[in-house]
Amino acid sequence: MSSRFKDLDVRPILKEGGEPFPAIMQAVQALQPGEGLRLLATFRPTPLLTVMARRGFDAEINELDHGDWEVLFSPIPSAAGNIAVSTGAEEAAGWPDPLWQLDLVGQEPPVPMEKVLSRIDLMEPGEVLFALFSDEPVFLMPELEKLGHQWVGKPDMNGSNYRMLIRVGGH
């Protein structure tokens, strides 16, 4: 486990009714190689555990006083370069080249998700879309699977953007 952690306390954001996810992802992107994130929250951030696992982090969860939680996210050394894959997309190397491309860098949610879903509605089954995001589109991924589409994705080489191929399933 990493001995170096950056601290992020999202309890004030949560207590004001705000959404801490953008602050968390910004903190993750600012981490140095081998560095972990110490997150303080007002609840056990269960959905975040999956997001962070996909990004190559292990989690140690501790309940604190007054219902607060501490999560220590540590980088998993062997996870570097891993590709996230939806169910059934394990053979993505055999997919056709993308016919469509969307550069969604710098666009705030929910715009990237809306644009991807709109483009997919115009595509034929089996066609592939390449999309570039500022952050990992964690809410889009399960939605694509629910709609019968497949995807593969990973951060780009410098970790500043997230690249994704989406193969359209039957409508």
Calculated CA dihedral for residues 103, 84, 73, 45, nearest 10 degrees: 80
pLDDT value at residue 11: 96
Q: Give me the mean pLDDT over the 115-142 stretch.
A: 95
- Report which DSSP code applies to 4: -
CA 45 to chain centre: 15
Does residue 2 surpass a pLDDT of 50? no
Per-residue tokens: 48: 């975040």
Domains in the chain: ranges and CATH: 5-79 (3.30.110.40), 84-167 (3.30.110.40)
pTM over 0.85: no
- CA neighbours within 13 Å on the CB side: how many for 80? 7
Per-residue tokens: 151: 């995807």
Cis status of the peptide bond prior to 110, with omega within 30 of 0:
yes
Find residue 9's DSSP bridge partners.
40
Q: Give me the mean pLDDT over the 50-68 stretch.
A: 86
Q: How confident is the model at residue 6 (pLDDT cuts 50, 70, 90)?
A: very high
31-54 confidence digits (pLDDT tens): 888 889 999 999 999 888 878 877
Is the Cβ–Cβ distance between 131 and 101 less than 8 Å? yes
